[in-house]
Structure 1
Amino acid sequence: MISERHFINGDWTFAYGEHPGAEAAPPASDWFDIGLPHSFELPDYRDYRIYVGHGCYRRTLDVDEAWLGQWIALEFLGVFQTCEVFVNGRSVGRHEGGYTPFTVDVSDAVRAGANDVFVRVDNHWNARLAPRAGDYSFGGGIYRDVSLLVADRVRVDWYGLGVTTPVIEPDAATVNVSVEVVNDEPHPVEAVVSAVIADDGPVAELEPVKHVIPARSTAVVELEGTLADPRLWHPDHPHLYELTAAVEVDGRVRSAQSTAFGVRWFEFTADRGFFLNGEHYDLHGANVHQNRGGWADAGTRASIRRDIAMIKDLGMNIIRGSHYPHHPYFAAECDRQGVLFWSELHFWGMGGEDIEGFWFASAYPIHEEDEAEFEESLRRALRTMIRVHRNHASIITWSIGNEAFFTDDAVVDKAKALTVELVAMSKALDPTRPAAVGGAQRKGFDVLGDIAGYNGDGAELFHDPGFPSVVSEYHGTSGNGPGEYEVQWEHGVEVDYPWRSGKIFWCGFHYKTVAPGAGLQGLADYFRRPKRAYHWYREQLLGIAPPEFPQPGTAAALQMRSDVDTIPTDGTGDARIEVEMVDEHGVRVADDKPILLTVLEGDGLFPSGRSFTLSPETGSVWDGAGAIEMRSYTPGPLRIRATADGVAPAELVLTATGPAKPAGSGERRLQTPAPYLTEPPLGGGYISLAEYRPVKTSSAAPGHHGGNATQPGEATWRAAGDEPGEWIAPSLEFPYKIRLIEVTFAEPPSSPWLVESAEDGRSFEPVHEGGPGEDRSVKVQFEARTALAVRVSFPERPLEIREIRVH
């Protein structure tokens, strides 16, 4: 036997809570019947409150007697964020870290036949575990695939196959292969390691290498060969080869492992931008979070495939995996579809209130006793991210994190030192790719890596920095519903400077976050419905005219469709169901009624069970339509009905395909919402909500940019001129309830000035009128109001400002 992989996503049970001792107790009869991928947050409608606590999973695992004596492991591709694994009541493994895959060796814990697998998960904030902060939602669960792995005691290690192409010429490419071979036998073995490259059949063989591997050890075997007339990987023609490495002992193949790889080379330059395969190539893309309407973080491989296709179909060519290692399938699908990928580590900071105990904390620990474990959690994650993703042609950088400068000033030097260490570690683990520092627009983080990623106003603050750079985030749309057609670019990103490698939009899709009111900056909504800005972008990049947008009208009927006719039952696939309101002529109309979807036949599942309501209240219906993904873990026909008040219903028939299952023991016990939701501890922080946030200005004198006014220190903002109407507007990035604004001028005010706030970040309303005679530092207190941005403007002549603070 060479190796086997079996998805075990179906037939789990789940219960909220810690359940002490349940790992050794008989299965409970009142747990929910669920499938993986799974989240504590089901169903998820973007509520900023999340369940923080424990959840327990259980499943029966059938083990073939022929597997005994082999290496048997459980592979988890993502569990947020700490888990303990038990087999037959015995502890077999523990993992910390919410975004990286891992395996648990169960070889000595399983027996032939039925085995009990129990997993206890918790998503508590942990001062010693990255991330400590982030504009995201940190719901718990086994939210990616789980597989059973079976392999020989002499085998290629898990993700133990690395491929590089260090020399690429028009007629040949050098292929170097690193093969990690594990020998679990109690005696040495002489292994012959070989590899074959295929492209619709074998095209090259690498010279075999003999290697003696000591007992109970791992050896790295290096192979080298040549690929003639290589076909280059490029987003316009994403050609992939397959390399298979085999380990032979005494004339018998004991193990084999395959990987896809592409032949390409690239370069980030300081003065000429980005080059791919020797040609200049402008990077233009979007940030993508993994969570999604209804299902939270627990997306299927099919949903990943659709997400990447939506970015590709937009005319973009790069995705930034914000801001954590994504599912291994994500990078593989970028390879196949032809989208470059910025793979990022979760050294993550978040502006605003600095509150220890929740994901609003300092990016780097503020207590010395937390530092060592926190740093090691990032080293461990970086090693795994690179090991798992290293062969993907689409990946052009390993990014160390995002906005880690949102660290308490007392420990910011330690955060920078850790960044430098992780950059060096990245390059040691993979010399073929540069290391980036994402969101590096404050506190000198931009000089710490090979590539600087500037977010927000970093696009205008760092003109021609003298080293490779990209705009790693820029904004242009906000809000639920269809939104405006034209994207409103900020901070001069519409100018393509020759030295800048590219720009990456924030963001591809709406996302759920613990920051109230945030997460609505997507070109498509949380349910992956394209907003009007999506179509504007597609017209700009591909010249495709927008569709005719629906007009208000009265619906007479529903129309329903699915992107697929069949759904695999192994948890890797789903069907995306769309429902539209149409009038008596069959024309789509913007009639926003709630729509109830119900599974009438078969074992189809929505995030809320056998039914799901699309509604304007949850942001899942607008412009007379809604969409949601449906799964099934049981083969057979599926019949789904859509109904809404006063309109004719619609039905859809799909098929779930997979191995037949034994007769069930009763109705599926459907999951109910989490028993409690944790409120973020807002209002307890002491830091200004505007500190180090992006700043817009009417103008700025050299050396006196707007960012000076949102960071402590002596530097100031000064307008470029002395004419009426100048202004400075710090963004809070998220809508907050504010009640105090402090403005500190360089000198006591000598002319009128006005403080304003904007709930939407654009439409400003007056808060306070000031003028001569006031102190150099003025505190403006007022009734609490919601604001996304504040502005200080000057109706006569501008004044120089040292700092603006918002609370």
Structure 2
Amino acid sequence: MKNRAGRQKLLQNNNWKFMHGDYKDAKDFQYDDSKWYDIGIPHSFGIPYFQENEFYVGYGCYRKILYIDESWLSKKLSLEFQGAFQDAEVYLNGQLAGVHKGGYTAFEIDITLYAMAGDNLLFVRLNNNWNPRLAPRAGEHVFNGGIYRDVSLLITEPVHISWYGTFVNTSAVSKEEAVVDITTEVLNETDSAVTCRLVSVVEYKGEAVIRISDTGILNSKSQMVFHQSDKIRDPKLWHPDTPELYVLKSFVYLGDELYDEYKTSFGIRWFLFTSDKGFFLNGEHYDINGANVHQDHAGWSDAVTHSGIRRDVKMVKDCGMNFIRGSHYPHHTVFAEECDKQGVLFWSENCFWGTGGPKEEGYWTSSAYPIKEEDQLEFEESCIRMLKEMIRTNRNHPSIIVWSMCNEPFFTTAEVMDKAKKLVKRLVKVSHEVDPTRPAAVGGAQRGGFDTLGDIAGYNGDGAVIFHNPGFPNFVSEYGSYEESTRPGSITHAGMEMEYQWRSGKALWCAFHHGSILWNMGYLGMIDYYRLPLNLWYWFRETLLGIKQPEPVKEGIAHALRVTADRTCIGTDGTEDAFIMVEIIDQAGNRIANTMEIVLEVVSGGAVFPTGKRFVFSPGKRNFYEGLGAIELRSYYAGENRITAVAEGLAAVELIISAAGEELWENQRLTELLPPPSVKGMPKHDKSFNIGVSRPVFASSEQPDYAARNVTDQSSTRPWRATEKKQGEWIMVDLEGSKPVNRGEIFFEEVNSNPFEISISSNGVDFKVIAVSKDRAVNSFLDISLGGKSLRYFRVQFPEESAAIIKIKLFS
């Protein structure tokens, strides 16, 4: 057999130039980019970013010299972007090669027609402007632009397997036997028909367990889909406790010549969500217990390395959890790969997203579904396109058990709510068509009747309380998030959502602190932004794994600094970094809880922190607590890196991190990245908005037809009524994060003379009474001035007999 299989995947993360702003002329070779920043991919417009609720919005432009070997010109050449937020134009040698809209999914750009031998100019013009026709239109995260995931050059023969062109289905599985169905797309980009033979070999730990061969005729400029099937006896089943993986090797032959070879990792398992007995994996009931995960890391924003992703998955696994919900957008394909390898179930979610707050066009607090008819068709197509892209690039991962259509789409203006529901139904249909092997979930379905639209309802906030045994498969997709905190954090509210036989699982909100357009919303994790655990993480680890929580760290006499890293050698291709920790220790070598400013500096070598060559720890920067801080370091140049840690009164400490790669540092002069030239936050509003609409509501009790949620439901006319009119009944609105509130309104169902008190809280434990009814005063409506107080919980309590309440409104 002859071998001319030329498939290569070459990372292109190194040696980029970047500048904030729109520079259309930079697509031309002669453009002078000498004053642009020298950066590597992954990269974010916002670097360095540290959870600010304002961020750069606008254009950013990237340039790179892309080398093309002359021998490649007879092949198919394309660029793979794993993610670019969010509207990208890709040029090669001044010619527009392709565009992509959507910030969270991978895409391929064919550059074959524009490539030439030698140096080629690659130019990417990108913006993260809010777009009324592009999902997401809303969300409480941040939307930093950038080429924030890997870029690769793909080189294949003109006859080859399509991009992400394999799909392995193992739905017909038992412990004794597994039917493996393989779908393979083979593309012929030549000008003539060819006879193609596809050989598919399935291996387990290097040993072939399946071998199938089929032949077909491919017309010119066409694609053929091969369907192959065989059985495996005694399959090694994928399970979080035993994450066994198989490899499919696909070989494309023309005659006796091998034209393409492609590898696909997959697992064999079967699962079932039931309406009455929860979740089953490989025929056995399985309790799902996990957390929601946003993608961003301290300083680097959403531009995260593979090793950073690996640590994130491991930290969730290490506290005893077995599940991650990818909130609230498709994550890097490497994220699912890590869940496969480490044994973590994964809920992969589309980016149709809504959030509470003012529903005005122009920013990410707008209506989740477009309010203008002229925007609606293109918006729906963007949701469908990104759902398809998410599924195509992730469909072979055994860890993924759910495709989620959305998150909290009910945060939509009432006038177009029915259209939002129709879109969710349409997405469910598309999901079933593209991948019939996995259920389609509706994430954040606790309002507006969205929970009945998919195969699984994901309830957030008070949804777990409201929907008891709803009669169809259901999941608590968010619970917890009681208190915004930095390390060490409180475990006052520590606890897991109640387990019921009919519930499939639960996910904490959330695993990690993250950036948010709403300042305090980002501080609800069990692990902080710098990837250091709070006490809540240790509580989960003790509860789930029996590992005792560490003793509290106390202040002492500072003797020295200790600097450590999770690795002493990193790659230089943008996929690896070093996780560096700095501690203050006493003479016995124990960490102490003292506070001081500590400066980390790369004194030699090409490595950088997100802030450049220096990084400063101090409590004032919210990055150093209990005598401990951490930050990630990366390098795009090979060589030794000397990092020093300096603090007043203590001896300097040195750490050596080597970087392995092709291009040496050799004291190159680079234009280092500076903070963005401008930032944009939530628009200032002259008028007041009811920020309590559709927020979670909790109560001491409720009558079946008079639920607590009615008081924030914009479509409900029914009141909340306690089960009995006894003393001590209460109702409480949760704003899901501390927010400034100017005033509140309470509408009673009837004229009320029963005493009540109104109190507010930021953590759900410590309440401050702000109003007490006058003795037997008659009220049907109350308007309470709050003067812009920051609060999360608003509670009405009745010390004697309770009264029914129709609405509670809280205005910003």
Equivalent in the alignment of 1:767 = 770
- TM-superposed CA distance for 1:259, in Å, is 0.5
CA distance in 1, matches of 2:697, 2:755: 21
Match of 1:554, SS?
A: coil
Match of 2:750, SS?
A: coil
Whether 1:577 aligns to 2:598 is: no
**1:269–1:499 Cα contact (<8 Å) kept:** yes
Output the amino acid matched with 2:682: P
CA distance in 2, matches of 1:781, 1:774: 19
Q: Unaligned stretches of 5+ in structure 1?
A: none
Match of 1:605, SS?
A: coil
* Residue correspondence of structure 1 range 44-63 to structure 2 within 5 A: 44-63=49-68
Q: 1:683 to 1:792 in 2, by over 3 A?
A: farther
Q: Which digits, 9 at most, give the CA deviation of each residue in 1:724-762, with x for residues without a partner? A: 222111011122211110100001121222222223444
CA distance in 1, matches of 2:684, 2:770: 23
**1:487–1:536 Cα contact (<8 Å) kept:** no
Whether 1:21 aligns to 2:25 is: yes
Mean Cα displacement is larger for which, 201-210 or 316-325?
201-210
Output the amino acid matched with 2:761: A
What is the TM-score of this pair, normalised by structure 2?
0.97
Whether 1:67 aligns to 2:105 is: no
Equivalent in the alignment of 1:114 = 119
Q: Which digits, 9 at most, give the CA deviation of each residue in 1:389-442, with x for residues without a partner? A: 000000001000110011111001000010011011101111111111011000
- TM-superposed CA distance for 1:293, in Å, is 0.7
Output the amino acid matched with 1:764: F
- TM-superposed CA distance for 1:251, in Å, is 1.3
Mean Cα displacement is larger for which, 653-662 or 416-425?
653-662
CA distance in 1, matches of 2:676, 2:77: 34
Equivalent in the alignment of 1:714 = 717
Q: 1:737 to 1:476 in 2, by over 3 A?
A: closer
* Residue correspondence of structure 1 range 532-681 to structure 2 within 5 A: 532-661=535-664, 666-681=668-683
Q: Which runs of 4+ in 1 moved over 6 A?
A: none
**1:80–1:140 Cα contact (<8 Å) kept:** yes
Output the amino acid matched with 2:608: L
Q: 1:586 to 1:201 in 2, by over 3 A?
A: closer
Output the amino acid matched with 1:756: S
CA distance in 1, matches of 2:536, 2:464: 21
Q: Which digits, 9 at most, give the CA deviation of each residue in 1:31-51, with x for residues without a partner? A: 011111000111111111011
CA distance in 2, matches of 1:248, 1:205: 18
CA distance in 1, matches of 2:421, 2:59: 33
From 206, 220, 227, the counterpart of 2:211: 206
Equivalent in the alignment of 2:175 = 170
CA distance in 1, matches of 2:66, 2:331: 27
Match of 1:80, SS?
A: coil
Q: Which digits, 9 at most, give the CA deviation of each residue in 1:364-403, with x for residues without a partner? A: 0000000000000011001111100000000001000110
Report sequence identity in percent: 44
CA distance in 2, matches of 1:689, 1:166: 45
From 383, 391, 397, the counterpart of 2:388: 383
**1:354–1:686 Cα contact (<8 Å) kept:** no
Whether 1:724 aligns to 2:727 is: yes
CA distance in 2, matches of 1:546, 1:182: 56
From 188, 199, 224, the counterpart of 1:183: 188
Match of 2:139, SS?
A: coil
Equivalent in the alignment of 1:157 = 162
From 802, 805, 809, the counterpart of 1:801: 805
Whether 1:531 aligns to 2:534 is: yes
**1:476–1:487 Cα contact (<8 Å) kept:** no
Whether 1:513 aligns to 2:521 is: no
**1:320–1:342 Cα contact (<8 Å) kept:** yes
Mean Cα displacement is larger for which, 318-327 or 641-650?
641-650
Equivalent in the alignment of 1:478 = 483
Equivalent in the alignment of 1:5 = 9
CA distance in 1, matches of 2:278, 2:355: 29
Output the amino acid matched with 1:693: R
Q: Which digits, 9 at most, give the CA deviation of each residue in 1:476-531, with x for residues without a partner? A: 553333244536258xx542111001110000000101112221111100011000
Q: Which digits, 9 at most, give the CA deviation of each residue in 1:756-794, with x for residues without a partner? A: 222344422233333545442222224221111211122
**2:482–2:764 Cα contact (<8 Å) kept:** no
Mean Cα displacement is larger for which, 157-166 or 278-287?
157-166
Mean Cα displacement is larger for which, 23-32 or 48-57?
23-32
Equivalent in the alignment of 1:703 = 705
CA distance in 2, matches of 1:553, 1:704: 56
CA distance in 2, matches of 1:229, 1:768: 68
CA distance in 2, matches of 1:684, 1:349: 22
- TM-superposed CA distance for 1:352, in Å, is 2.1
CA distance in 1, matches of 2:610, 2:52: 15
Q: 1:290 to 1:487 in 2, by over 3 A?
A: farther
**2:486–2:523 Cα contact (<8 Å) kept:** no
- TM-superposed CA distance for 1:685, in Å, is 6.5
**2:697–2:734 Cα contact (<8 Å) kept:** yes
Whether 1:438 aligns to 2:440 is: no
Q: 1:418 to 1:685 in 2, by over 3 A?
A: farther
Match of 2:521, SS?
A: coil
* Residue correspondence of structure 1 range 459-478 to structure 2 within 5 A: 459-478=464-483
- TM-superposed CA distance for 1:449, in Å, is 0.6
Match of 2:672, SS?
A: coil
Match of 1:79, SS?
A: coil
* Residue correspondence of structure 1 range 410-425 to structure 2 within 5 A: 410-425=415-430
CA distance in 2, matches of 1:587, 1:673: 37
**2:130–2:364 Cα contact (<8 Å) kept:** yes
Equivalent in the alignment of 1:396 = 401
Match of 1:346, SS?
A: coil
From 501, 505, 517, the counterpart of 1:502: 505
What is the TM-score of this pair, normalised by structure 1?
0.98
Q: 1:484 to 1:62 in 2, by over 3 A?
A: closer
Mean Cα displacement is larger for which, 754-763 or 571-580?
754-763
Match of 2:24, SS?
A: coil
Q: Which digits, 9 at most, give the CA deviation of each residue in 1:689-725, with x for residues without a partner? A: 1111111212222222211111133211112222222
Output the amino acid matched with 2:110: D
Equivalent in the alignment of 1:244 = 249
CA distance in 2, matches of 1:678, 1:217: 47
CA distance in 2, matches of 1:78, 1:122: 13
Aligned pairs, number = 804
CA distance in 1, matches of 2:226, 2:18: 43
Match of 1:420, SS?
A: helix
Output the amino acid matched with 1:336: K
CA distance in 2, matches of 1:497, 1:489: 19
**1:479–1:520 Cα contact (<8 Å) kept:** yes
CA distance in 1, matches of 2:58, 2:393: 29
Q: Unaligned stretches of 5+ in structure 2?
A: none
Equivalent in the alignment of 1:777 = 781
CA distance in 2, matches of 1:221, 1:297: 38
